[in-house]
Amino acid sequence: MTHTANDVASFCKKKGFIYASSEIHGGLAGFYDYGHLGTKLKHNFENLWRKYFLGLNDNFFEIETANVMPEGVFKASGHLENFIDPLIKCSNCEFGERADHFLTKKLGKRFEGLKPEEYTALVEEHNLKCPACNHELLPATIINMMFPLSLGTGSGGKGYLRPETAQSPYVNFKLQYELLRKKLPLGLAIVGRAYRNEISPRNFTLRQREFTQAELQIFFNPDKIKFHPDFETVKNYKLRTLLVQDREGEAVREKSASELLQLGLPQFYVYHLVKIQQFYLDVLKIPAEKFRLYQLSDQEKAFYNLFHFDLEIELDEHGFTEMGGLHYRTDHDLGGHQRVSKENMEVLEEETGKKFVPHVLELSFGVDRNVYALLDLGLEDNKERGNIVLHLSNQLTPFYGAVFPLVKNKPEITAKAESVYRLLKEGYSIYYDESGSVGRRYARADEMGVRYCITVDFDSLVDEAVTIRDRETTKQERVKISHLKAKLFELFF
């Protein structure tokens, strides 16, 4: 059974996953807090991301950087001039929305990358009115989406909250390249906050003004874009693509990595496209039919991106939704910082004696969007059990297990249950619960995504065994306490 975005938001607040920030003061649109369960889920996603993508190469490392950056950074990156969104407003009321999003909802097609006058012409052509009051819409305009800051008393210069984490690796590149023994490819990753003054933040955590990104910037020799040393291991792997040429039918086509080379995509790019899909299907356990790699057209992608695929997951109410992207940004970024900062970003390749400004392959993921997708896909209103069941993989779920005494008014049983809890909590994310009936505790655990419930009963005092109940099947198995840690380890993978 499908559910709405409001259902997801309501569930998240009720269980302590995600809810509006500063709600007791009325809140602010586009800002959300993560509760105790949401924070654990988010951290689990981030840690899986780190382990997987930093593990692709021994020369990939995570750095942590400032969220506030000087104006020069964004002159160099082009954000001051180009980080803009098209705005459509009502002539009568307070309605305002991104012009491309407004037209997509009304006309059912994508409209990224148009000029303001083109958006205005489409509104007039289709005689579109304000959805709030039915009055005329004003001509489309543009706004810059960055948050400016005055530093110190004002004499400290002008800064901005970073609108993306990507610029931080770029300004760190020269120093990190020297520190890491001048080896390419070099990967610099950041899991951190970014800030955008969205025109109309909406759809819960899918579009916020403060959000978390997980990004890996790979700096490499552009002469080697057509080669990856491990490509042979993935050449026959089937990718779920929606290419520009296949858009008419909106049908996902499975194409091998080798077939994508024949379309002009280079090995270095396609290899990482494969690794991204494998992360979603094999690590996050996203159903294959819910995932696709969406190729952007020349009109849709940023001018500096030579190749650009969006990573999309199909959500219940929103359909296929962008979760991240793979972007070949050429030397746009380091070249821009070299021009404005006057710092030489060239490197010298010892084997050939050639100097060049490294190119960048960017693997970009919206952490909040991915967490939302995990909740959206995992949420089930299970009529048979009479409660919500949250299906999350063992590596993602906030709590892998829970320990219950069958009854709480028998000291010998609670003492045994507490000893089992102490035994397990050192190695696993486990909680202890003795409140309410066992059936009610099972239901609460299902809603939290707990995979295994471990119950200590009267027989446990005699046979030194407990009952393990599986969230997915509700089947129960009797296991000796002495074998319990090994059993949970076996079930984890």
Kindly state the average pLDDT of the residues 363-373: 98
Decide if pLDDT at 435 tops 90. Answer: yes
Q: What's the pLDDT score for residue 78?
A: 87
Query: Closest Cα to residue 452, out of 401, 398, 384?
Result: 401
Least confident of 29-43, 108-122, 188-202, 282-296: 108-122
Q: Are 211 and 368 in contact (CB under 8 A)?
A: yes
Domain parsing of the chain, residue ranges: 5-81+146-377, 84-144, 399-492
The Cα–Cα gap between 488 and 453 comes to 11
Based on the number of CB atoms within 10 Å of its own CB, is 175 exposed (0-12), middle (13-18) or buried (19 or more)?
Answer: exposed
Residue 215 has pLDDT above 80, yes or no: yes
Q: What percent of the chain has pLDDT over 90?
A: 82
pLDDT at 395 over 90: yes
CA distances from 49 to 30, 283, 395, 397, 476 (A): 24, 9, 11, 15, 32
- Which residue carries 């009055």 as its tokens? 135
- Are the C-beta atoms of 67 and 160 separated by less than 8 Å? no
Task: Answer yes or no: is pLDDT of 154 > 80.
Answer: no
466: tokens are 């407990």
pLDDT at 91 > cutoff 70: yes
Q: Please give the average per-residue pLDDT across 284-303, as a whole number.
A: 94
- pLDDT of the residue at 385: 94
Distances in whole angstroms, Cα of residue 306 to Cα of each of 84, 151, 266, 373: 20, 36, 11, 28
Position with higher pLDDT, 376 vs 353? 376
Question: What's the whole-number average pLDDT of the chain?
Answer: 94
Q: Which residues contact 261 (CB under 8 A, 6 or more apart)?
A: 267, 270
Instruction: Tell me the C-alpha distance between 334 and 172, whole Å.
Output: 10
**Residue 471: per-residue pLDDT:** 98
Q: Are 54 and 62 in contact (CB under 8 A)?
A: yes
The answer to whether residues 400 and 394 touch, using CB atoms and an 8 Å cutoff, is yes
Q: Please choose, from the candidates 205, 174, 200, the residue with its C-alpha nearest in 3D space to the C-alpha of residue 188.
A: 174
Which residue from 428, 434, 286 is spatially nearest to 365, judged by alpha carbons?
A: 286
d(CA 12, CA 4) in angstroms, rounded, equals 13
Q: Predicted confidence band at 96 (pLDDT cuts at 50, 70, 90)?
A: confident
In whole angstroms, give the CA distance from residue 70 to residue 341.
11
Q: Which CATH superfamily is domain 399-492 in?
A: Anticodon-binding domain (3.40.50.800)
The pTM of the full predicted model, rounded to 2 decimals, is: 0.91
Nearest to 337 by CA among 110, 79, 45: 79
Q: For residues 212 and 195, what is the distance between their CA atoms, to the nearest angstrom?
A: 9
Band (155; pLDDT cuts 50, 70, 90): low
| Mean pLDDT calculated for residue range 242-262 | 92
Topology, domain 5-81+146-377: BirA Bifunctional Protein; domain 2 (3.30.930)
Fold classified for 84-144:
Herpes Virus-1 (3.30.40)
Split at pLDDT 50, 70, 90, the class of 249 is confident
Q: Which letter does DSSP use for residue 337 in this model? A: H
pLDDT (0 to 100) of residue 3: 86
Count each helix (H run) and each strand (E run) in the chain, helices first.
Answer: 15, 26
pLDDT at residue 1 is higher than 60: no
Whole-angstrom distance, CA of residue 426 vs CA of residue 428: 6
How confident is the model at residue 112, as a pLDDT?
79
pLDDT at position 157 is: 76
Average pLDDT (292-318) is 93
468, 485 Cβ separation under 8 angstroms: no
pLDDT tens string 124-149: 999 999 999 999 999 999 888 889 99
Q: Which of 50-64, 80-94, 226-240 has the lowest mean pLDDT?
A: 80-94
Q: How confident is the model at residue 76 (pLDDT cuts 50, 70, 90)?
A: very high
